[in-house]
Amino acid sequence: MLRRHFNAAAVGALAPAAAPPMHWADSSRLGRPYSKDPSAIRFRGRCLLYYSMPTRDDAGRLLDWAVGIAESTNLTAWRKIDEVLPAQDCEKKGLAAPCAKLIAGQVHLFYQTYGNGRLDAICHAVSDDGLRFTRDPSNPVFRPTGAWNAGRTIDADIVEFNGRWFLYAASRDPAMKVQLLTGAVAEKSAGFSRSAWKMLADAPLLQPELPWERDCIEAPSVLVRNGALYMFYAGGYNNTPQQIGCARSRDGVKWERLSPEPLLPNGPAGSWNSSESGHPGIFQDNDGQTHLFYQGNNDNGRTWYLSCAKIEWRGDKAS
């Protein structure tokens, strides 16, 4: 059983003004707390957190998005240490929604381009130190095909499963109104460049069906447990409110929701995450514990904080 074992504040059970132990955001760019889309790894004795951050010009106008990097030794107190800024032509308008993975001693970063509408897609870069990244020359490496989607692709995550790499991401319907999930697979020997990825299905892998999911399923974050894949995903567009659900798959293609209700809902009025609990980033630590990073706010997106909640597993079922 997968049991909600979050700090009470993470689901709004404490006094309305209370915040969880991890309640952090980068204020360096906007002058106010603003961090989204968390992805964490443990690397060389510390935990590195990658997140989306906006930048603005002197007049205060939003220019683009980039990726911030923070470090911690306890998953609670964080310090910003670096940034990943646009470099390739395909990402010159911005990059966002990082997914960091430690693979064979290197940090691989999968992220989306930003500001290109239907042409936004998934890119890949690699680093020896977790700070300075070398882009894949074939970027962008993945965008879905088929008449069922608009081509736009964001919020990537990858996972090794049954000897292959599975990539999951969010796309939209042809009208660009409904967010839904797509995916691809690559042989381990093929690497991560564009030619390595093959579509998993010519149809959405998961799309909004439940009332709380509204018109959006996005931000898939996946781990392997007991021979199955568990996907933590965001339902609902930002601040509608966005909330977090969980689904399971035995083959990486067919998914079943573990509950008709959100696993991690937004908080009640007055709490730090009353506007949403969204964009999950699942993190399996070296001690076997599972932590769910996510974003939240209580002002409809003027600020964005990142937090972390512990998940306790009990067998194969969830509640």
List the structure tokens of 196: 């390595």
Indicate if the pLDDT at residue 314 is higher than 90. no
List the structure tokens of 285: 């630590």
Q: What is the pTM of this model?
A: 0.93
Handedness of CA 262, 263, 266, 270 (dihedral sign): positive
Distance CA 97, CA 100 (A): 10
**Chain mean pLDDT for the chain:** 92
Task: Check: CB of residue 221 under 8 Å from CB of residue 233.
Answer: yes
Task: Check: CB of residue 150 under 8 Å from CB of residue 174.
Answer: yes
Task: Check: CB of residue 235 under 8 Å from CB of residue 242.
Answer: yes
Coil, helix or strand at residue 63: strand
Tell how far CA 81 is from the center of its chain. 20
Coil, helix or strand at residue 225: strand
> How confident is the model over 40-69, as pLDDT tens digits?
999 999 999 999 999 766 666 666 899 999
Q: Which residues of 73-84 are buried (b: 16+ CB within 10 A; e: fewer)?
A: eebeebebebeb
Q: How confident is the model at residue 312 (pLDDT cuts 50, 70, 90)?
A: confident
User: Which residue intervals of the chain are DSSP H helices?
Assistant: none
Indicate if the pLDDT at residue 201 is higher than 80. yes
- For domain 2-37+119-313, the question of CATH label 1.10.150.80 is answered with no
Each domain of the chain, given as residue ranges in start order, spans 2-37+119-313
List the structure tokens of 99: 């997914």
List the structure tokens of 146: 């088929």
What's the whole-number mean pLDDT along residues 278-292? 96
Distance CA 120, CA 64 (A): 13
- Comparing 9-23, 128-142, 227-241, 270-284, the range with the smallest average pLDDT is 9-23
Indicate if the pLDDT at residue 118 is higher than 60. yes
Q: How confident is the model at residue 19 (pLDDT cuts 50, 70, 90)?
A: confident
